[in-house]
């Protein structure tokens, strides 16, 4: 299964946070799954650090790069098709980063790993 990691799910998984559900942890550890992280999520992290809503260790970007390599997580770039899909999504969810991830999941036929219940309002598969 191709799994697109929501920003919070990625941060929880990398830090071993207990808020990551058992089902999500199992999917994370399953070697038959392919894990992806959207560039929209990386952008979200950078923005939240900049405005003071998220605090990560100094050198977080290098740490994240190393952890992504170690866990075989691939970046999912933002493509024109993803942006076009965002323009057609119903406004169930107003967070622009999450809307991009939802569009990417739809276009790429991916399952999303997230704790955000608003994702369920879209026609995507979700691992809670």
* pTM, 2 dp: 0.94
Distance of CA 80 to the CA centre of its chain: 19
Give φ, ψ of 124 to 5 degrees. Answer: -130, 155
Instruction: List pLDDT tens digits, range 2-26.
Output: 999 999 999 999 999 999 999 999 9
In whole angstroms, what is the distance from residue 55 CA to residue 68 CA? 19
- pLDDT tens for 35-46 read 999 999 999 999
27-96-20 Cα angle (round to 5): 25
Rounded percentage of the chain residues whose pLDDT exceeds 90: 96
Inter-helix orientation angle 7-15/22-29, to 10°:
80
Quick: pLDDT tens for 68-92: 999 999 999 999 999 999 999 999 9
Which of 12, 40, 44 has the alpha carbon at shortest distance from 25?
12
Closest to 10 (Cα-Cα) out of 31, 22, 26, 24: 24
Say whether pLDDT at 93 is over 90.
no
Domains detected in the chain: 2-127 (3.40.50.1010)
pLDDT single digits (tens) 109-119? 999 999 998 99
Q: What distance in Å separates the CA atoms of residue 79 and residue 125, rounded to the nearest whole number?
A: 21
In which band, very low, low, confident or very high, does the pLDDT at 1 lie, cut at 50, 70 and 90?
very high
């Amino acid at each position: 299964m191709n799994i697109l990691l929501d920003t919070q799910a990625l941060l929880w998984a990398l830090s071993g946070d207990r808020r990551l559900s058992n089902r999500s942890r199992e999917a994370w550890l399953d070697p038959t799954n392919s894990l992806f992280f959207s560039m929209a999520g990386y952008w979200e992290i950078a923005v939240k650090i900049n405005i003071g809503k998220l605090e990560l260790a100094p050198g977080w970007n290098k740490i994240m790069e190393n952890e992504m390599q170690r866990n075989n997580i691939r970046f999912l770039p933002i493509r024109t098709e993803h942006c076009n899909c965002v323009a057609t999504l119903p406004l169930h969810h107003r967070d622009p980063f999450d809307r991009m991830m939802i569009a990417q999941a739809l276009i790429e036929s991916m399952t999303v790993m997230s704790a955000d219940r608003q994702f369920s309002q879209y026609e995507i598969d979700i691992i809670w």
